[in-house]
Homo-oligomer: A and B are copies of this chain.
């Protein structure tokens, strides 16, 4: 973090808070916040608007302008490298150059190949001092999905699990509704709300017929629903299809069922694996990224949860544990027996909080996290325009 002061960190945190405030609405664009400061005073601030609307930098510049401030001598704090290309909006880097602040502080490089250091390079070329890497991990946490899609071509996938303290998700007779409490359920809906797609499996649909939408927290946007259903067994009446479009991934071709599901806004995607009997889960993740999905929220039974984990499709864990012991009951995910603990894939805990009477633990794959971080640093390390 060269040239960065404690003040820089404080202002960047304010920009991060603004980005957090638009976590439900910017996708597939990244969540970005921007604060413009001079002599300890905020001249303007803003966050990225829904797709097609202005980005954070432009919102902040407009706010400063509306308040009658010129940007001479000001510092702009922005949580992601300003874009340098014409997308649905003109390049933010150009808007910043035109406004001519003294300095721009950037949290995270943008691995989008259309940007990838060119945003910062353009600012520097215009004589603006640029500081990079302030609060970069906090900024990455907001946009791991966007960075994953840009840098590796797959979404960032959270696996949500809820269980007893001894890791049991349901009784053998299927009862699972009340292991964790209502606050944990509401919190789980907040995590659904930030995802682009909520993914489940046919077992869960046949057993629980969940709606999988966001109900317990306010959101301006419902995530899309997706279902893994290798044999295309799902009924078009499933409540999953009640509100909004859905994707159904299958391993079989069935024109009749596909047509009936289409009447319910459900698109059937046939992606069989090499054996032909199961869905190619890794290909499904690439497909989702190609459809602009940044974050996937997996909320499935032990079967699909285990299969996704085995297939390397899970990046992070969102685990709710209730203070009960259930003993002989169904586990959290089905995985083949290991013969040694050596080489077992280790996550890293990143957060733990009480949620009602339960606890919520967050953990992520540290190797994949580092790879995303590296991709943002490499973006900024590229030499020039």
Contacts and interface: CB of A to CB of B under 8 A. Distances in A.
A333 B349 CA distance: 24
A179 to B, nearest CB: 7
A334 B341 contact: no
Interface stretch (A70-78, A107-115, A320-328): A320-328
B346 A323 contact: yes
Nearest to A328: B337
A168 B167 contact: yes
Given A165-B363, A167-B168, A341-B175, A336 B326 contact: no
A319 interface: yes
Contacts of A4: none
Contacts of A335: 325-328
A69 interface: no
Interface string A85-124: 0000000000000000000000000000000000000000
Contacts of A331: 166-167, 327-328
A331 B179 CA distance: 18
A175 B340 contact: yes
Contact of A333 (B322, B325, B346): B325
Interface stretch (A48-56, A184-192, A243-251, A354-362): A354-362
Contacts of A236: none
Interface in A138-188: 161, 163-168, 171-173, 175, 177-179
A361 B359 contact: yes
A359 B348 contact: no
A358 B329 CA distance: 24
A287 interface: no
A339 interface: yes
Interface string A347-385: 111001010011101010000000000000000000000
A165 B165 contact: no
A20 to B, nearest CB: 23
B357 A344 contact: no
A161 B171 contact: no
A317 interface: yes
Given A172-B337, A333-B166, A326 B348 contact: no
Given A323-B363, A352-B359, A363-B323, A332 B167 contact: yes
A340 to B, nearest CB: 6
Contact of A173 (B323, B339, B352): B339
B167 A161 contact: no
A358 to B, nearest CB: 8
Contacts of A338: 171, 326-329
Nearest to A344: B324
A200 B360 CA distance: 30
B352 A357 contact: no
16 contacts: A165-B167, A166-B331, A166-B333, A167-B332, A171-B341, A306-B327, A309-B325, A323-B363, A324-B347, A325-B335, A327-B335, A328-B334, A328-B335, A328-B337, A329-B338, A349-B359
Interface of A: 161, 163-168, 171-173, 175, 177-179, 306, 309, 317, 319, 321-329, 331-341, 344-349, 352, 354, 357-359, 361, 363
Given A165-B361, A166-B333, 20 more contacts: A163-B167, A164-B167, A165-B317, A166-B167, A166-B331, A167-B331, A167-B332, A171-B340, A177-B341, A321-B361, A322-B346, A323-B346, A324-B345, A325-B332, A325-B345, A326-B335, A327-B337, A328-B334, A328-B336, A349-B359
